[in-house]
Each structure stands twice: as C-alpha cells, then as structure tokens.
Structure 1
Amino acid sequence: LIAPFHPPRRSRSPLPATLRRASRIVAKSASLLPGPRISNPASQRRGTAAGMAAAVAACSTARAGLGLKTCLHGLVASPRLLAPLTAARRLSEAAGVGRAGARVSMALRSGIVGLPNVGKSTLFNALVENGKAQAANFPFCTIEPNVGVVAVPDPRLGVLSGLTGSQRTLPATVEFVDIAGLVKGASQGEGLGNKFLSHIREVDSVVQVVRCFEDNDIVHVSGAVDPTTDIDVINLELALSDLSQIEKRMERLGKSRSKDPQARSREEAEAAALARISEALLAGRAARSVELSEEEAPLVAQLCLLTAKPIIYAANVAETDLADPSSNPHVSAVRQLASSEGAECVVVSAQVEAELCELGAEDRAGYLEELGVAEGGLAGLVQATYRLLGLRTYFTSGEKETRAWTIRAGMTAPQAAGVIHTDFERGFIRAETISYDDFVASGSYAAAKEKGLLRAEGKEYTVQEGDVMLFRFNV
C-alpha cells in the first residue's frame, strides 16, 4: 500500500504546484504510465508518494529542455509503480542533465542473467559472500531479484593508505542483481519470462553466465551443454522483447500530431533511430551495435532496450579447467562469439568461488595453488563490470581515510567533487591533483608539492583514472 501524499494547501513557492500537476499526470494518464494504476480518486487528485517521486524526476529532466510530456513517456519502461523514479532518473542521466549542487548518483547495477542451472545464484553468492539467494538444482529458485553491493578490488587503495597512514580504507563498489533464469519463449510469457525481462530492463549492464562444464548431477534445461545455443536462446528472447517495445513506440509516434517544430523533430529523429535498431534486431544484431547521434541516444534510452545494454559473458567452468581454460572447447566457443560481438568474456568457476568464500586467507592461497592459479576469477569479473559501466576511479587520501570514488568517464573536477557532497560542487574553487604514480613515487603530498607534481586544476579539468585529489571549496 502507498500512503497518499498530502501537499500543503498554501505554498509560497510555485514548485509544489508544478510537482502536483506532474503527479496528477502520472496518476491519471494510462497512456503515459501503463501497469499498476492508482484507482483511488483522492490519490489521483492529491498525488501519491510514488507519483510525487516520479514527478520530481520528470520535472528535473524537463528542465533540460526535453519537455515534461517527453520525460513522462520515459516512465513506460517499468512495470512497477515505484520504478518510474528509476526510469525518469535514467532518462535524465542519458540526456546529460545536471545543475549546480546536484549530486550525481553512481549506484549503477549489473544484472546476472542466464538459463536455469548455469550457476547464476552460486556466482552471485560468491560475489557478495553472504548473499541470500537460494542456489538449488532446479529452475526458478530465484524468484525476486537479489541485490548485492560488491567492492571493486583495487591494490592502489592499500598503497595510498600506507603512505598517508589512513585509519580506514573504503573501496569503490558495484551493485549486482541476481535475476532468475530465462527460458525459451520468455518474451511470450513462458516460465516467468515477462517478470524477469522487466527486472533486466532496470539494470545498466548485463553479465550473462554461460555453462561451460559437464556434470550429470546438475540438469541442463535443454538436456545438453551447448553454450553458444544457450547464448542464442537468451539473446533471441531479449531481441524479441525489444522488437515488441519498438513496435509499440512506433505506433505511438505514428499517431502523434505534435505541432511544436522541436517536438516533431525529436519524434522524427527517434523514429529513424528505432527503424535502424529494428532492422539490426531482425538481422540478428543487438541494439548496442547501432550507432546513435547525440540527439538520438537520449530519445532511444527512454525505452530501456534490453539488447542496448553492454554485456559480459561469464564462462562458468569446472575447477579442473581454471588453470587452462583454453583447453575447454566450450570456453573457446564463447570467447569467439564474444569477440564477434565486441563483448568481453571472463572465465570463472562459480563453485570454486563459493568454496573460497568459506576459507581463511591462508587456506585460500593453498587451495588456489592446488588448482594451479594465482587468484580466482571474481576480481576480474568485478573489474570488467566496472569498466563495462563506463566508470572511473579517483582517490582521496588522508589520516582519517583513503577512499576510492566512482565517477563516469569524462566528468569534470566539480562534478567529481559533487559525488562526495553537493557543497563541494556548489562552492568548488580548485582541485589539488596528482596522478597515482606520481604520488607513490613522491611518497607524500609535501614531497609532491616540492617537486612541482601537485597541480591546481580548475572547473574545466576532466578527471583522469587514478587521480589523487584534494578539493578546495567555499560555501
């Protein structure tokens, strides 16, 4: 149940009235918000908490010039009532929306998908160590998506912490979502397909786990281990779902009678982009393979197309194949397919990673030595996912703490400062910056300053991977 939100009857600021108007649009318009509807007339009139949340996000996006109706159309991608906030936020980020003092959320998610019984939940449990997802030998053991926050392994943190004598160390993180297994026909509702596809639609990237091990005790949904066929099944269901989304959107664009020249131009650009994507999907290519202009990208982003999301293939192997995965023909097939798509393939043994989680540091090292590998595959998977999401890391380091901060590639110094606190961006003066390598070579801030390696960067500076930064601001 969602409690009605009762705005004050009188307000000195015009903003609440704007939000109430947007909230009524969200609540009343079935064309703009399909799925669960708000049937309580009082809630429609006054606006619900969910409606107000969606309105806030939509109004923020509208300020960028996309228009309120266009922004609210982005809410169609989510089937659940609270998801409009996520959909509108994603649309806002895709459009590059930002204003002084606005903190940019870096809580990006990667969804773990695959056929039933390929090792998704086992891998997820290993990723979060104490994950609560069930890992059982039967399909659909994961019904609701499980979310885990995973630290990104980075040896630079320990080095910086040692140089500055930090009391604690805080790594960058990535959110992983364990999504239940898809089956052939999911786009038509087979299994629990429609629900699972909606969960995938809400993540930012996809890790597709592919079974590359033989085990008669673990049933395969199709009766035989064939990773390329498994990948084709998943990708086909995602493509069919995208084609359905595009068809519905094209019908709406065809019926549109917008008189505003700018709105009409945006609709024409969107229709042209969707036509190219539809052609690619019918030819067996993913939406992400289609190049989009700066104008087209945010318009297409509001549909949250499944095949537009960047992807990593995780080849799940037996422990005997970890030392030399190339000897496994299934792994070679997955690597070849990933290369043809311009995607990345990471080799991991979910079962080995699950066992490592139960061992101490010394026992882990001994176990890995027995397997003939220096480390497990989880670190590589997390780092690959971090890169796939287009994320970068900069550091702050002092006596209190050394911390890795997550930003999007291309962010300026004030925007990076805003990830720490809104005041840092609003009152930004300069960023005292040094590269990680130069800082380690110098040994301290003082030594780096004496050598002239500590730079004073202004508002136009684009933060680089591994920068060590100290922000100066005044509010």
Structure 2
Amino acid sequence: MEAGIVGLPNVGKSTLFNALTSSQAAQSENYPFCTIEPNEGIVNVPDGRLQTITNLIHTKKIIPAALKLVDIAGIVKGASEGEGLGNKFLSHIRQVDAIIQVVRCFEDPDVTHVAGNVDPMADIDTIETELILADIQTLENALPKAERTARTGDKEAKLLVATINKHLEHITKELPLRTLSLTEAEAKVVSSFGLMTAKPILYVANVDENDVNGENDLVAKVREHAKQSGAGVVPVCAKVEAEVAELEPADRAEFLDAVGLTEPALEKLAREAYRTLGLHSYFTAGEKEVRAWTIPVGATAPQAAGVIHSDFERGFIRAEVYSVEDLVEYKSEKEIRNAGKLRVEGKSYVMNDGDVVHFLFNV
C-alpha cells in the first residue's frame, strides 16, 4: 500500500517528502516540474504502543509499521489535456492507493505561487477538477468496448456498462467518485481503471513557521472542505519539519518545545496517512523482536497471519490474542494467561487495532 504526495508546483511537496523520508528528493527552487520522475521513500509509522510493549517484554529489536510514499510531480490547470507533465503525472497517481494533497497556507513573497496568489481552496479545486476530467475520459473510453461485449449477453460486461454509467452520472455532477456508494461487485469490475477521484484523500496544510498548529483562516477553509468530504487535515510547516529531521534525536524535544509542538507534525501525518489508507496494526512480541504488522481494517486472523508468511495463513489453526492494555495491567504474558485474559480466536476472528498475537499453524 502506498500514498502519493500531490499538489501544485511550489507548495512544499518535495520539502515535505524529504523531511518525512530523510531523503534528498529534488527541491523545486521555484522551478515547476523539478520532480519529473516520482521519488519513492519509506517512512515509519510512529506508535507509542511499541515502547509500552517493550517496557514489559524485553527484546533485542523494535520494528515499527512502515508506509511507502511517492512524491509526484506538480500539477497545473489543463493537466488532463496534457498541460505540464499531463498524462505522465496522472499515470503516477493512478498507481497509488491514496492521495496526500499538499496545499499552501502561508504567504511568502520569495516563493512564487504558480497561480499568482495563495488560495488553498482554488488549489484543491484545480487538482480535483483535473482528476475528475481525467476520470471521465477513462470511463468514456472504456464504455464502447463494454457495450459491445454486453450485447453478446455477457453478464459481467452488462454489470460493467451499468457501473460505468453509474460512475459517469455521479462524476459529471463534479462530484469525486470517493463519494459514490458501490456494491462489492461494482467496485470489483472497475478496480483496474485506477480511477483517481475514487481514492481516499488526506490534505496537508503547509503553514508558516509562526503558525505551526495551523490556526490561520486559510487552514480553517481547508478543514471545512475536508469535513464536508470526509477527509482528514494535518497542518505541517514543511520548513520546520525539515529542520527537525536534521537534528539529533536528543535535540529535537527542545526545538519542538521552542516552536510550540509536542511532537513532529510528520509523526501525526504518518499516522493519518496510514489511517487514510484503511490500515491498522497488530503486534507480535518476543525476545527477538517486538514488531508492528500492517493489515487492512477488517482483516481476519488468517489474513493477518499471512502478512508474516503465506504458510501461516495456509496452515492457520488459531490465534492467541491479548491487548496492550492487558499487558500494562498484568505486566507479563504469563500473568495474562493466568488471569484468563488470553483469548483463543479462530479463522473468523476480525483483528482489532493493537492486538498482540501468537499464531498457531500447521503446514
């Protein structure tokens, strides 16, 4: 699972990506389209529960969950018709599972805005419009072939035609497809289309270093839009976060306190991106390692076991499960078991966020 970072040129995408991944993606330096090929990086998902577990189960290694991020080239109005990097940009978005849109919510005369003025709602509208137009084009291109096949009596083709028309009726009202309700069968027949407005979205409000918590009117407008569309918002000062990323861990707390933050905003961003992708974590804990494993919300115990190894899923017998709260209360797995709090779950068990698990399997 991966999230793509998108936005207009010069909104701070690459600065944000660098800080998140501690890499050196190309900086725009006021030159649109500096990020031509997408940069990719892996970012850890901060989770205080790992340390809580480790405090009680001594281990040699701690491994957090990780998230793949893709820094995609800046978009401009007309991208759906080939402006800027046009189709190349859009093809990169089709390949990711969720969108992180960076919008500029700060004034700086030294950083040119591609539209000439700072207006985050106009930025959001520009990108959403281009993605809507591109999705309409994808759907309209697919419809004739589906209709020809449907005329032969093919049931799946008939469903596809009906589903495409359902999508077109919705999106031609300038509504993103993530707001369209679909059955499981409808979602499956269009899953290969890579429809961009169907992807979940998270907004990152890039703010000034004097407003690190995003309390200005521009951020308020982004929050209101996100609330109406069911999206999340994280205010981030990319400039401050870039400085934090360069500091030694021992110096970070003092710096954060000085600028008014309790934790790097990027930590909250990583967690929100993880949530936006529909993911959560379960843990395995032992002397060798304490580890967070990434699974989709709704995954069953055998599916969660399969993330560790396919043999675990294939030969799944049962899962022994307890919570981090149980560990805090009883101090050890032995005492959790003695207290009768160790649950034995079967193949139909749906994993909860934060479960600590031992899988039993036989291949």
TM-score, length basis structure 1: 0.75
Identity %: 52
**Residue aligning to 1:19:** none
Q: What does 1:265-276 align with in structure 2 at a 5 Å threshold?
A: 265-276=155-166
Deviation, 1:333, is: 1.0
**Residue aligning to 1:188:** 81
Which residue type is aligned with residue 41 of structure 2? G
Query: Which secondary structure state, in structure 1, belongs to the residue aligned with residue 8 of structure 2?
Result: coil
Aligned-partner Cα distance in 2 for 1:133–1:125: 9
Aligned-partner Cα distance in 1 for 2:23–2:70: 14
The question of 1:457 aligning with 2:342 is answered: no
Aligned-partner Cα distance in 1 for 2:91–2:242: 28
Query: Which secondary structure state, in structure 2, belongs to the residue aligned with residue 295 of structure 1?
Result: helix
> Conserved in 2, the CA contact under 8 Å of 1:416 and 1:463?
yes
Residues 397-434 of structure 1: CA distance to partner in whole angstroms, max 9, x if unpaired? 00000000011111111111111011211222211111
Deviation, 1:133, is: 3.4
> Conserved in 1, the CA contact under 8 Å of 2:150 and 2:161?
no
The question of 1:174 aligning with 2:67 is answered: yes
Which residue type is aligned with residue 301 of structure 1? S
Deviation, 1:283, is: 1.2
Deviation, 1:473, is: 1.5
Gaps of 5+ in 2: none
Q: Which has the larger radius of gyration?
A: 1
Query: Number of aligned pairs?
Result: 363
Aligned-partner Cα distance in 1 for 2:25–2:124: 26
- Call closer, same or farther: CA 1:448–1:289 in 2, change over 3 Å: same
Residues 3-55 of structure 1: CA distance to partner in whole angstroms, max 9, x if unpaired? xxxxxxxxxxxxxxxxxxxxxxxxxxxxxxxxxxxxxxxxxxxxxxxxxxxxx
Deviates more, 1:216-225 or 1:247-256: 247-256
Query: Which secondary structure state, in structure 1, belongs to the residue aligned with residue 190 of structure 2?
Result: helix
**Residue aligning to 2:189:** 299
Aligned-partner Cα distance in 2 for 1:232–1:212: 15
Which of 305, 316, 323 is matched with 1:435 structurally? 323
> Conserved in 1, the CA contact under 8 Å of 2:61 and 2:289?
yes
Which residue type is aligned with residue 344 of structure 2? A
More strand by share: 2
Residues 418-461 of structure 1: CA distance to partner in whole angstroms, max 9, x if unpaired? 11011211222211111121122111110000000011111121
Deviation, 1:346, is: 1.0
Deviation, 1:135, is: 4.3
**Residue aligning to 2:354:** 466
> Conserved in 1, the CA contact under 8 Å of 2:35 and 2:72?
yes
Deviation, 1:282, is: 1.7
Which residue type is aligned with residue 124 of structure 1? F
| Higher RCO, Cα 8 Å, sep 6+ | 2
Which of 109, 130, 144 is matched with 2:23 structurally? 130
> Conserved in 2, the CA contact under 8 Å of 1:131 and 1:148?
no
**Residue aligning to 1:223:** 116
> Conserved in 1, the CA contact under 8 Å of 2:23 and 2:41?
no
**Residue aligning to 2:242:** 354
**Residue aligning to 2:291:** 403
Aligned-partner Cα distance in 2 for 1:134–1:348: 17
Residues 47-70 of structure 1: CA distance to partner in whole angstroms, max 9, x if unpaired? xxxxxxxxxxxxxxxxxxxxxxxx
Query: Which secondary structure state, in structure 2, belongs to the residue aligned with residue 410 of structure 1?
Result: coil
Which residue type is aligned with residue 36 of structure 2? I
Which residue type is aligned with residue 172 of structure 1? A
Residues 368-387 of structure 1: CA distance to partner in whole angstroms, max 9, x if unpaired? 22212212211111111111
> Conserved in 1, the CA contact under 8 Å of 2:63 and 2:292?
yes
Deviation, 1:186, is: 0.4
Deviation, 1:258, is: 5.8
Which residue type is aligned with residue 288 of structure 1? R
**Residue aligning to 1:238:** 131
Deviates more, 1:363-372 or 1:240-249: 363-372
> Conserved in 2, the CA contact under 8 Å of 1:286 and 1:308?
yes
Following TM superposition, the consecutive aligned residue runs of length 4 or more in structure 1 with deviations greater than 4 angstroms are none
Which of 281, 285, 297 is matched with 2:175 structurally? 285
Query: Which secondary structure state, in structure 2, belongs to the residue aligned with residue 183 of structure 1?
Result: coil
Query: Which secondary structure state, in structure 1, belongs to the residue aligned with residue 37 of structure 2?
Result: coil
The question of 1:313 aligning with 2:197 is answered: no
Deviates more, 1:205-214 or 1:334-343: 334-343
Which of 368, 371, 377 is matched with 2:265 structurally? 377
> Conserved in 2, the CA contact under 8 Å of 1:137 and 1:218?
yes
Query: Which secondary structure state, in structure 1, belongs to the residue aligned with residue 113 of structure 2?
Result: coil
**Residue aligning to 1:90:** none
**Residue aligning to 1:412:** 300
The question of 1:110 aligning with 2:3 is answered: yes
Aligned-partner Cα distance in 2 for 1:339–1:257: 40
> Conserved in 1, the CA contact under 8 Å of 2:8 and 2:123?
yes
Aligned-partner Cα distance in 2 for 1:258–1:444: 65
> Conserved in 1, the CA contact under 8 Å of 2:302 and 2:316?
yes
Which of 239, 254, 267 is matched with 2:147 structurally? 254
Residues 255-296 of structure 1: CA distance to partner in whole angstroms, max 9, x if unpaired? 22564x5xx222222222222221222212101111001210
